[in-house]
């Protein structure tokens, strides 16, 4: 499983990560950040394949991705 960390304050809501996620797994929040933009959020961490397309597409380098060990993998 993967954990996506999107810097909510630095994101300018350009939507590139939303557009390019092959899983359609990122959306723009209805909340506004301090700069007045609607920042990107992951919809479901379980559906993220870890392809890193969003990380590569973000012009402001707002997205970090981490692999998270789930219990089944940890016990394998
Ligand atoms: S890593 Fe890939 S699947 Fe996961 S949110 Fe980013 S673009 Fe979508
Ligand atoms: S590509 Fe980057 S700046 Fe644009 S919406 Fe996604 S996280 Fe925000």
pTM of the shown model:
0.91
Low-confidence ranges of the chain (pLDDT < 50): none
Nearest protein CA to atom 4 of ligand 1, as residue: 48
DSSP three-state, residue 4:
strand
Q: Please name the residue that has the structure tokens 């557009």.
A: 19
**Which residues span the domain enclosing 41?**
2-75
- The CATH number covering residue 30 comes to 3.30.70.20
Q: Compute the distance from residue 49 Cα to the ligand 1 centre, in Å.
A: 6
Ligand 2 pocket, residues with Cβ under 6 angstroms: 6, 11-17, 39-40, 57-58, 60, 62-63
* Predicted pLDDT at 51: 97
Identify the sign of the CA torsion 9, 31, 56, 45.
positive
pLDDT of residue 75: 61
pLDDT for the residue 69: 86
Interval between CA 63 and ligand 1 midpoint (Å): 10
- pLDDT the model gives residue 73: 59
Overall number of domains in the chain? 1
Q: What is the pLDDT of residue 76?
A: 57
Q: Whose CA is nearest to atom 7 of ligand 1?
A: 21
């Amino acid at each position: 499983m993967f954990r996506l960390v999107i810097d909510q304050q630095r994101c300018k809501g350009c939507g590139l990560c939303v557009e390019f996620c092959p899983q359609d797994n990122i959306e723009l929040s209805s909340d506004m950040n301090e700069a007045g933009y609607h920042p990107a959020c992951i919809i479901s961490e379980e559906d993220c394949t870890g392809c890193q397309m969003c990380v590569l597409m973000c012009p402001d380098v707002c997205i970090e991705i981490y692999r998270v060990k789930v219990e089944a993998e940890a016990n394998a």
